């Protein structure tokens, strides 16, 4: 079976770096789309279904973080890796809160960037596969298997009953596994009934129940001051 063509959108206004990224990431069955500003990036997204976006934060016609928020509101699954010259905690936290799947600060090794890009592409491809070729939401992670379409959640082969809130919480954590999802993002995503105020303790309680039901204490980690992350057991 022929492998589907991957398309990577690079949004970087430094011409030399942009060209270097294009050269480093180009390969068989992969198309690289290069943009220098947000205007052209938006135009490309109207005509191309991209697999991953490399996004600079500081662009001539706007802030990459604002664009990131737009992207995640439109499609929370498609991975976005931020490229930034800023390395302060505030920049990192803001990017993660807007839904970035990964970030890398300049200057960086192209080999490291390639590895991170390939990791995100593999995760995204795995998320969209099933044996019938449909976009069924199945995640197989170590001894866990989660099917969000059929609402079947297995831990070591045993079925685990999850509430609707716990299902939504698990879904956003595994979709962003390896990254950190902020408390605010989780609350906004899970409690969408228009409530003006949600006690943050409700999130903590839901996280604890999810951990206990799945036996996922080694996977669902608290990132203090930011939020939560689904990580590999050995990380």
- Cα separation of 79 and 130, whole Å? 19
Give me the chain's average pLDDT, please. Answer: 83
Write the DSSP symbol of residue 27.
B
Q: Which CATH superfamily is domain 6-129 in?
A: Response regulator (3.40.50.2300)
- Cα separation of 151 and 108, whole Å? 41
Percent of the chain with pLDDT over 70: 85
What local confidence, expressed as pLDDT, does residue 132 receive? 42
What local confidence, expressed as pLDDT, does residue 1 receive? 41
pLDDT exceeds cutoff 80 at 68: yes
Instruction: Give the model confidence (pLDDT) of 20-65 as tens digits.
Output: 999 999 888 889 999 999 999 999 988 878 889 999 988 999 998 8
228 or 149, greater pLDDT: 228
Average pLDDT, integer, range 158-170: 89
Average pLDDT, integer, range 167-176: 88
Instruction: Give the model confidence (pLDDT) of 189-211 as tens digits.
Output: 777 544 445 566 888 999 999 99
What DSSP assignment string belongs to 36-105? SSHHHHHHHHHH---SEEEEESEETTEEHHHHHHHHHHH-SSS-EEEEES--SHHHHHHHHHTT-SEEEE
* pTM given for the model: 0.57
Cβ 168 vs Cβ 182: under 8 Å: no
What local confidence, expressed as pLDDT, does residue 129 receive? 55
Instruction: Give the model confidence (pLDDT) of 93-114 as tens digits.
Output: 777 777 888 888 888 888 888 8
- Which 3 state secondary structure label does DSSP give 181? strand
What local confidence, expressed as pLDDT, does residue 160 receive? 93
Domain spans of the chain, in order of start: 6-129, 138-230
Average pLDDT, integer, range 153-159: 91
173 or 198, greater pLDDT: 173
Task: Please tell us whether the domain made up of 138-230 is placed in CATH 3.30.70.370.
Answer: no
What local confidence, expressed as pLDDT, does residue 86 receive? 66
- Which 3 state secondary structure label does DSSP give 202? helix
């Amino acid at each position: 079976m022929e492998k589907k063509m991957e398309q990577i959108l690079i949004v970087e206004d430094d011409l030399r770096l942009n060209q270097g990224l294009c050269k480093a990431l180009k390969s068989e069955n992969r198309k690289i789309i290069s943009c220098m500003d947000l205007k052209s990036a938006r135009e490309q997204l109207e005509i191309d279904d991209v697999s991953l976006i490399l996004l600079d934060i500081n662009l001539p016609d706007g802030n990459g973080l604002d664009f990131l928020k737009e992207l995640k509101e439109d499609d929370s699954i498609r991975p976005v890796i931020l490229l930034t010259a800023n390395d302060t905690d505030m920049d990192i936290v803001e990017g993660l809160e807007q839904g970035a799947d990964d970030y890398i600060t300049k200057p960086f090794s192209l080999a490291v960037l390639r590895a991170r890009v390939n990791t995100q592409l593999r995760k995204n491809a795995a998320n969209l596969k099933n044996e019938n070729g449909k976009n069924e939401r199945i995640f197989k992670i170590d001894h866990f298997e989660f099917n969000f379409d059929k609402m079947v959640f297995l831990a070591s082969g045993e079925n685990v009953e999850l509430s609707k809130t716990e299902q939504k919480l698990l879904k956003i954590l595994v979709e962003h596994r390896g990254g950190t999802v902020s408390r605010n993002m989780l609350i906004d995503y899970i409690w969408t009934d228009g409530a003006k105020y949600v006690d943050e303790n409700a999130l903590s309680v839901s996280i604890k129940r999810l951990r206990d039901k799945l036996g996922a204490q080694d996977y669902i980690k608290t990132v203090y001051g930011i939020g939560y992350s689904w990580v590999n057991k050995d990380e």
